[in-house]
Amino acid sequence: MKILFIGDVVGEPGRRAIQTLVPTMRRDLGLDWVVANGENIAGGSGITIKTGSSIFDSGVDVITTGDHVWDQKESMGWIVQEPRLLRPINYPAEAPGRGSILLEKDGFTRLAVINVQGRVFMQALENPFHVIHHEVTRLRALTPNILVDIHAEATSEKIAMARFLDGQVSAVIGTHTHVQTADEQIFPGGTAFLCDAGFTGPQESVLGRQIGPVIKRFMTCLPQRFPVAEGAIELQGVIVEIDNETGKATKIERVRKRIP
pLDDT for 106 equals: 80
pLDDT for 109 equals: 79
pLDDT band at 14 (very low <50, low <70, confident <90, very high): very high
Are 111 and 33 in contact by the 8 Å Cβ rule? The answer is: yes
pLDDT for 214 equals: 97
Does 111 have pLDDT greater than 90? yes
Taking only the tens place, the pLDDT of each residue in 195-234 is 999 999 999 999 999 999 999 999 999 999 999 999 999 9
Does 163 have pLDDT greater than 90? yes
pLDDT for 5 equals: 98
Residues forming beta bridges with residue 109, ordered by sequence position: 105
pLDDT for 108 equals: 73
pLDDT for 100 equals: 98
Pick the CATH number of 2-258 from 3.90.1300.10, 3.30.1320.10, 3.40.190.10, 3.60.21.10: 3.60.21.10
Cα diameter, the chain:
57
Residues forming beta bridges with residue 240, ordered by sequence position: 3, 252
Q: How many helices (H) and strands (E) does the chain have?
A: 6, 13
Domain boundaries, the chain: 2-258
Alpha carbons 164 and 72: distance in angstroms, whole number: 33
Q: Is 134 a catalytic residue?
A: no
pLDDT band at 105 (very low <50, low <70, confident <90, very high): confident
**Mean local confidence (pLDDT), 147-162:** 98
pLDDT band at 101 (very low <50, low <70, confident <90, very high): very high
Residue among 68, 151, 176, 178 flagged as catalytic:
68
Taking only the tens place, the pLDDT of each residue in 233-254 is 999 999 999 999 999 999 999 9
First to last CA, the chain: 28
